[in-house]
Amino acid sequence: MSAQFLEQVMNAQRHRLADVGEAERERVRELALAARRNRQPRFAQALAARPTPIIAEFKRRSPSVGIIQGAADPIAVAKLYEAGGAAAMSVLTEPEHFHGSLADLDAVSSSVNLPLLRKDFMVDRHQVFEAAAHGAEAILIIIAGLTDAEALKLMDAAHAVKLDALVEVHTTEEMLRASAIGATLIGVNNRNLKTLTTDIETSLHLAPLAPAAATLVSESGLRTREDITRLQSAGYGAFLIGETLMRAGNPLATLRELQGLEAAQ
């Protein structure tokens, strides 16, 4: 996913969402408020409750590697993740490039009790309310594709419906921006948007720049237990892992191994 690709996708989202009428926006907002009534944010809380919290991701494909598991069943995968001890789950809902959908989010929400992150290219409050209405408990905010004002609007919308906001950064500049807007849950994406390569050194480099009170999540390119222990030593409190688990022959055992638990038999 290059910087140019990110800009194109974000602009396409803005164009599509500009056509959503006020009546539909209000309908979804009301659904979101009803879904979250008497609820409290529990995504970040669930991460804090585990010694090695893994956000296990469901995705069928990605722009950088193509098809991963094109026919994957979100319910079957979610149940494996829950059985393997995942602290939370990320569900791709972007259809064109990741082959995801809000229907996937619905399916997972109805089948497991894991707190769910809606992972998509968020540019509009309407998407936040969609996330809440379809069972998510957190949203992703990719600061590279947004102004600070846009990111703050998304954060405010998330707070209005009691969702956590995972603010994703790639660079020093973006980490400083995330800190300035008050992000308390910060994801460091190890994918270089210029070269498309992944390197956990990105997470190690950016950790000292994060707000002291923030929960840090390392994302992309995590493959081994050794990767995780290095990142924990640098201050990371959670780990978002997708491709490694989606390609695993036994994702339940792989998930347990990444947590430092005995592999499932």
Predicted local distance difference test score (pLDDT) of residue 194? 79
Which are the contacts of 86, defined by CB distance < 8 A and separation ≥ 6? 54, 55, 56, 114, 255
Name residue 219's beta-bridge partners. Answer: 189, 240
> Is the separation of the CB atoms in 91 and 121 below 8 Å?
no
| Residue-wise pLDDT tens digits, 31-52 | 999 999 999 999 999 999 999 9
Predicted local distance difference test score (pLDDT) of residue 264? 41
Nearest to 46 by CA among 138, 129, 120: 138
Query: Which tokens in the block code for residue 218?
Result: 């390392």
pLDDT digit string (tens) for the chain, length 265 residues: 677 889 999 999 999 999 999 999 999 999 999 999 999 999 999 999 999 999 999 999 887 788 888 789 999 999 999 999 999 999 999 998 899 999 999 999 999 999 999 999 999 999 999 999 999 999 999 999 999 999 999 999 999 999 999 999 999 999 999 999 999 999 999 998 878 789 999 999 999 999 999 999 999 999 999 999 999 999 999 999 999 999 999 999 999 999 999 654 4
> Is the separation of the CB atoms in 47 and 87 below 8 Å?
yes
What is the rounded (10 degree) CA torsion for 255, 136, 147, 98?
Answer: 60
> Is the separation of the CB atoms in 143 and 167 below 8 Å?
yes
Predicted local distance difference test score (pLDDT) of residue 87? 98
Predicted local distance difference test score (pLDDT) of residue 265? 42
H or E segment to which residue 238 belongs: strand 238-241
Predicted local distance difference test score (pLDDT) of residue 262? 65
CATH 3.20.20.70 fits 3-258, yes or no: yes
Residue 198: CB atoms within 10 A of its CB come to: 18
Catalytically active residues are 57, 59, 119, 168, 189, 219-220
